[in-house]
Structure 1
Amino acid sequence: MANKRILVVDDSSMYQRLLSDVINSHPQMEVVGVAVNGREALEKMDSLRPHLVTLDILMPQMDGIQTLMELRRNWPDVRTVMVSSLTSEGSDAALDALTLGAHEYAAKPVSAGGISAIRETLNQDLLPKIAALCDLDCAGDMVAEEPVVAEQPDRAPGRFVSTQNAGPELVVIGVSTGGPDALTRLLLQLPGNFGVPICIVQHMPAEFTGKLAARLNAASKLTVCEACAGDRLQAGTVYVAPGDYHMVLERVGGTDVIRLNQNPMENSCRPSVDPLFRSAAAIHGARCLGIVMTGMGRDGLKGSEVMYAAGGSILVQDEASSVVWGMPKLVAQAGLAEAQVPLERMARAILDRVMVAEGSTVHQVGDTGDKAANASNHRLPGSGGRGS
């Protein structure tokens, strides 16, 4: 099997060498070239024909954002991973890149721990992301077409299915690699008067989630916020789990209230999709709609099992429109998904189900809503911040 071809773009000769060493340690990946800036990288694209490009963000002559835009325009099938320092400015630029279609981000380790520590961090954080984008695992094998999944839940009488002709009261979404771009495209198609709350777990460091929520809020007709402990869910509002906190729901006085915790990671993630899905299913049962979108790993599978057993419905993003068809694939192969839906049709699929619950005609994409009304009075008195 031919090796996956990687182009490393970084203006630091030290990081060129470190990135190349880590990537070349994988038996099915090969660094076929390096470049010191985006202009040089673009000049090498046709001759090197890389499957994937790693991009530093801050570079002379042509930075990573400008390079990414050219790659998306002229080589749309090439995967891109942004590798840059996780400073405040760096996280802003990285989020720019993810929103513009970069497939993944990895923080550039600091050198305080020495070269060996940097190399180890790159091995643990960067290499699995590059491998997943190349349809490989970290051992060097192609990702199996039929991965082992958890036992399918009992579909006999134990599965509760509502006898009421009622739609979802809540939408919960789990997403990882490729998520910022996918979420932007999804939320842009939902109307401001969307009939139920939406809760999202996006795998992302704490430095990113507030900025992601702010950008989604600016782009969408919905009200989008980074969740705080004590938030009371309101229709037409989207709550993004803050980085490094699990987000779960609790029923208080007939209202769903957000709780945040730093319990152990699940599926190597915090926030994790599974705790959100479990808590949503416990409260709403058959009137909960789960969405599992593009991402690597297993997060969302166990939570989807619980939601399915409670009678809830689950949609997964289809393979063709996913950056990495890992999370949705496992849910689909476990027999838990009602349908596999292309990203461009996911909003329509959600609206078809949610609007049944309202007993009204389906809203057209482009309807407006009152963000100010949605944003006000959605928090319990005395609450706010993180932790619960």
Structure 2
Amino acid sequence: MSVALTSPVAHGPVQQEPLRVMLVDDSVVIRGMISRWLGSEPDIVVAASLRTGLEAVNQIERINPDIAVLDIEMPELDGISALPLLLAKKRNLVVIMASTLTRRNAEISFKALSLGASDYIPKPESTREATAAETFRHDLVQKIRHLGARARRSSHPTAAPSLAPAHDRVRDAALRAPAPVSAPVVKRSFSSQNPKALLIGSSTGGPQALMALVAEIGPVIDRFPVLITQHMPPTFTTILAEHLARASNRPAREAIDGEAVKAGHIYLAPGGRHMRVVRHGIEPVIALDDGPPVNFCKPAVDPLFASAVDVWQGATLALVLTGMGSDGMRGGKDIAAAGGSVIAQDEATSVVWGMPGAAAHAGICAAVLPLNQIAPKLVRLFSGDRS
């Protein structure tokens, strides 16, 4: 058994308490590396470092963490088996699944999201690769910080009405969590042109939001192309495309460089490559590239949004869903400047209101809506109703 405990932090002002993280991984190298990284962050403390899921389940009440970073493959009790047991003991626990980039682990990560995990993070195949390790470190710290802060806001509600409950824990938490008070959002008018394509950008919490959305916008998909950039690594995007196809009952797959963009299809940016749309003769086609990360992301939303202006001009409709950072805001500015429309998911239903919040506060949005109101609005807009 490998356990490193700190004493629970006394309850004081929420914003002053460091986030308590429980690391659960059978690799002593990974636990040591992550512990060093998190230990250097002033607002994060490693509350425990454990080797198996069984240790985590047995000790969670004593450790009382805000966040668990949970490996998938472990002896005694693996991550996917430990997940529901941990959530049963602490319902508001933020769980970030960690796994290597294999198809099996990608499938398990998606299953974990449906079981209540908040997010996932791919572990680098080798911690000796400086770039991969630094990306992993950046992403992990940001996920812990943003998801932990949101969980604390949810557990210290001010006074906010709940929206209609949903079936799974993640959707329920996203729909019901109160949002902090923020500055008023200035909204623009919707484009005077009927939209010809739907572009979507998403990150943290995106897979769950995308699955709910595509299931309700069949009339849009049937008549118009849908292009999606979700911050995800290779293999994971392959699995996400398969899930989107099942959820929408429409063709959905990773985009292929040079293929024509047609109505009735969902095109997903493949992990590790930026997706743009360009005009080839009279028809739009997919253009993939292996350029550097944009906004720390690859694929990134901004390249897709910005490229669409050259193809559809003011007939472009972009949607910014839940996610960390500000990706999509600059590309959204280009769309708005060209006369197109941008919609952002609202704060209360976003797992993290980074990307949609940046778009909303940039003054480029025609609407900022709860997740359950976005699909009906899209169906109306693509039917020519701009009211």
Short-chain TM bin = 0.7 to 0.9
Q: Which residue of 2 aligns with 1:43?
A: 58
Task: Return closer, same or farther for 1:13/1:289 CA change in 2, 3 Å cut-off.
Answer: same
Name 1:187's counterpart in structure 2: 214
Structure 1 match to 2:68: 53
Match of 2:341 in 1: 313
The alpha carbon displacement at 1:169 in A equals 0.9
244-253 or 168-177: bigger deviation: 244-253
Kept in 2, the 8 Å contact 1:282–1:310? The answer is no
String of CA shifts for 1:58-102, please: whole Å, max 9, x gaps: 123332122334455664432221122223433333343345553
Report the equivalent of 2:298: 270
Aligned length: 339
Counterpart CA distance in 1 for 2:291 and 2:85 is: 42
Query: Greater relative contact order (Cα 8 A, min sep 6): structure 1 or 2?
Result: 1
- 1:160–1:309 contact (8 Å) kept in structure 2: no
Counterpart Cα distance in 2 of 1:70 and 1:353: 43
- Alignment partners' CA distance in 2, 1:119 and 1:229: 29
The two structures, once aligned, show a CA RMSD in angstroms of 3.1
Distance, in Å, in 1 between the alignment partners of 2:132 and 2:298 is 23
CA contact 1:99–1:180 (8 Å) conserved in 2:
no
Shift, 1:319, TM fit: 1.2
Residue 16 of structure 1, CA deviation: 2.9
Q: Which moved more, 1:51-60 or 1:209-218?
A: 209-218
- Contact 1:178/1:295 (CA < 8 Å) preserved in 2? yes
Distance in 1 between the 2:224 and 2:85 partners? Answer: 39
After superposition, the Cα gap between the structure-2 partners of 1:313 and 1:76, relative to the gap in structure 1 and judged at 3 Å, is: farther
Aligned 8 A contact 1:177 1:296 in 2: yes
- Structure 1 residues 328-362: Cα deviation after superposition (integer angstroms, max 9, x where no partner): 111101111122211222212211211227x9xxx
Deviation at 1:305, TM superposition (A): 0.4
Partner of 2:112: 97
The one-character-per-residue Cα deviations of 1:286-308 (angstroms, maximum 9, x if unpaired) are 22110001111121111000000
Determine helix, strand or coil for the equivalent of 1:291.
strand
SS in 1 for 2:23: strand
Contact 1:207-1:243 at 8 Å conserved across structures: yes
Contact residue 161 and residue 310 of structure 1 kept, 8 A: no
Q: Which residue of 2 aligns with 1:335?
A: 363
CA 1:18–1:42: 2 relative to 1, 3 Å? same
Work out which of the residue numbers 148, 169, 173 in structure 2 matches 1:134. 148
Q: What letter matches 2:313 in structure 1? A: G
Stretches of structure 1 that go unaligned for 5 or more consecutive residues are: 137-143, 360-388
- Deviates further, 323-332 or 11-20: 11-20
Quote the Cα distance in structure 2 between the aligned partners of 1:270 and 1:108.
16
The match for 2:314 is: 286
Q: Which residues in structure 2 correspond to 1:1-388 (within 5 Å)?
A: 1-71=16-86, 75-98=90-113, 100-110=115-125, 113=128, 122-135=136-149, 162=192, 166-191=193-218, 194-356=222-384
- The 1:60/1:283 distance shift into structure 2, 3 A limit, reads same
- Structure 2 alignment gaps of length 5 or more: 1-15, 151-179
Q: Distance between the aligned counterparts of 1:248 and 1:195, measured in 2?
A: 20
Task: Name the TM-score, length of structure 2 as normaliser.
Answer: 0.78
* Distance 1:229-1:63 versus aligned 2 partners, 3 A rule: same
Partner of 1:206, secondary structure, is: coil
Equivalent position SS for 1:47? helix
Task: Tell me the amino acid that sits aligned with residue 210 of structure 1.
Answer: T
The amino acid of 1:67's aligned partner reads A
